[in-house]
Structure formats: structure tokens, C-alpha cells
């Protein structure tokens, strides 16, 4: 008989991260997330990671990556971005969502960094949270992708997947962050966001997750309580229809 898996033990969470990482290993190498790409190409420049994360809000990864590279080619550092014309910035970052507002925001952030911190991004949660448009997710991205210090940025993918599996039962990304930092071993924090953003894009998608091929389905609450019962119900319905009509059910119905 199978024993129940303690989903909240640090060891189980470690294996969940390893198995998810294995499933998206190739995609992470061939097509890294926008933040990983910026981190790799700038040797983890916290300023560029911060600005790219602000651009990434409500924007798809490829759009963020392109917009960031256009922006940094023209304004490569905090000083040049603080002095930039907002309209020029907006033109460079278009079509990221809310590009006019974001153009003003990244300029404002650069000005504050120059005025208060000598142009250096502070490695301090409270100070980062004082910057416009910077919430916990953005600040944690700066820690992980910029400073390379352990933190858990929780975006919609991380929040959804850990709730589906049943590791956490939370309503908001902030609650998920608190729970995961309590449960997961600190050594697993650094790769967690990157693995699960990719895993959420490719396997555990918001709509139509690929549960039957998922390496985590033996531990997943959603798989057992939602996906499997639905699959069994559909197959029973099809069998009884076939018995009644003697025909294969029409897939289009
Ligand atoms: S089994 Fe399905 S819901 Fe669970 S983690 Fe995998 S893809 Fe997501």
C-alpha cells in the first residue's frame, strides 16, 4: 500500500523542485525566462534586473526580453535612464503593457536610486519596497536574479502550481511566499522561481495543464481530486454511449 506523501516536508519540496526542473531542463537552456536571460547577459546587474522586472508586469516573457534589450542598448545605466526622455523610453519599451506609465516609472526609479543611494540598488527589502511599482515579487526577483541571494519570488505560476499540488493552501502570492519560505529548504530558494515559471508555461499551464504527462502527478492534489475523477467520468460516459449505440462517441460533441 502506498504511504501518504507529506507534501510540506522540506525533502518532498526538494524532490518536487528537482522533478519539475528535470521536465523543463532543455527549455530552460534553449529559451530561458526573460529575467534569467537578463541576469545571464549582465552578470546579474541588479539595476537591469529591477527595471526589467517592472517592465515584465502583465507582459509576456519574449516581449519583456525584447523591450529590455532595446531600452538598455540606448540607456545602459541608472544615470542615463534617469536623464532619459519619457516618450523615448515609452517608444523603446512598446508594446509592453502600460508602456507610457512604465516609462515614467522606470525613470522615476532611476532618479530615486541616484538621489538616495548613489545610483546603487539597495540590497534591502524595505528600501526596495519604497520604490514605485516595486512589490515583494519584484524585490525578491532583484535578490534572486540580481544579487543572487536566496529569496522566493512568487508570481502567478508559482502561486498556482504550489496550490494545485497541495503544498500550500493560500489565497494570495504573498501568503504563498510566506508559506514556501517557512517550508522549503533555503538552498532550494534560488532556482525555484525560474523552474516553476518555465514549468507553468509548458506543463502546469493555467488552462489545460498537461497532467497525464506531468512528473509530479503522483504527488499532486489537483491530479487526484480533479483531473482523474473528470477523466474517469468522461471515459465511463463514452463507454456507456458506445454500449447503447454500438458506435464510437463523436469527439466533437
Ligand atoms: S499533475 Fe497537473 S496540476 Fe499537478 S502539477 Fe502536474 S500539471 Fe500541474
Helix (H) or strand (E) holding 64: helix 61-74
Using DSSP, state whether 167 is helix, strand or coil: coil
Alpha carbon nearest to ligand 1 atom 2, residue: 211
pLDDT in tens, 221-245: 999 999 999 988 888 888 887 777 7
Name the stretches of the chain with pLDDT < 50: 1, 251-253
State which ligand 1 atom lies nearest to the alpha carbon of 216: 6
Domain boundaries, the chain: 1-31+150-253, 45-147
Instruction: Identify the residue whose cell numbers are 540598488.
Output: 121
What local confidence, expressed as pLDDT, does residue 1 receive? Answer: 45
Q: How many CA atoms lie within 13 A of 94 on its CB side?
A: 8
As a whole-number percent, the residues of the chain with pLDDT over 90 amount to 86
CATH topology for 45-147?
Endonuclease III; domain 1 (1.10.340)
CATH class of 1-31+150-253: mainly alpha
Give the position, in ligand 1's atom list, of the atom nearest the Cα of 211: 2
Residues with CB under 6 A from ligand 1: 161, 164-165, 203-204, 209-211, 214, 216-217, 220, 222-223
Gap between the Cα atoms of 97 and 75, Å rounded: 20
Q: Is the pTM of this model over 0.75?
A: yes
Quote the pLDDT of residue 250.
57
Q: Which atom of ligand 1 is nearest to the CA of 220?
A: 4
Q: Which of 50, 64, 106, 61 is nearest to 82 (CA)?
A: 106
Amino acid at each position: 500500500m502506498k504511504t501518504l506523501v507529506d507534501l510540506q516536508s522540506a525533502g518532498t519540496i526538494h524532490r518536487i523542485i528537482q522533478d519539475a526542473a528535470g521536465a523543463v531542463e532543455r527549455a530552460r537552456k534553449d529559451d530561458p525566462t526573460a529575467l534569467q536571460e537578463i541576469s545571464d547577459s549582465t552578470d546579474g546587474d541588479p539595476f537591469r534586473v529591477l527595471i526589467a522586472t517592472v517592465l515584465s508586469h502583465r507582459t509576456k516573457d519574449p516581449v519583456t526580453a525584447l523591450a529590455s534589450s532595446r531600452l538598455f542598448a540606448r540607456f545602459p545605466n541608472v544615470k542615463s535612464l534617469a536623464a532619459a526622455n519619457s516618450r523615448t523610453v515609452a517608444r523603446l519599451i512598446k508594446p509592453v503593457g502600460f508602456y507610457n506609465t512604465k516609462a515614467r516609472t522606470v525613470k522615476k526609479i532611476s532618479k530615486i536610486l541616484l538621489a538616495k543611494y548613489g545610483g546603487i540598488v539597495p540590497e534591502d527589502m524595505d528600501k526596495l519596497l519604497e520604490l514605485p511599482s516595486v512589490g515583494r515579487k519584484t524585490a525578491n526577483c532583484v535578490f534572486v536574479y540580481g544579487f543572487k541571494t536566496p529569496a522566493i519570488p512568487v508570481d502567478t505560476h508559482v502561486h498556482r502550481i504550489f496550490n494545485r499540488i497541495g503544498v500550500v493552501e493560500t489565497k494570495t502570492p504573498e501568503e504563498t511566499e510566506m508559506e514556501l519560505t517557512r517550508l522549503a529548504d533555503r538552498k532550494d530558494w534560488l532556482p525555484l522561481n525560474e523552474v516553476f515559471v518555465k514549468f507553468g508555461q509548458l506543463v502546469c499551464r493555467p488552462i489545460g495543464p498537461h497532467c497525464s504527462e506531468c512528473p509530479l502527478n503522483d504527488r499532486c492534489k489537483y491530479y487526484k481530486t480533479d483531473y482523474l475523477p473528470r477523466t474517469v467520468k468522461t471515459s465511463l460516459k463514452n463507454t456507456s454511449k458506445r454500449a447503447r449505440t454500438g458506435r464510437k462517441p463523436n469527439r466533437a460533441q
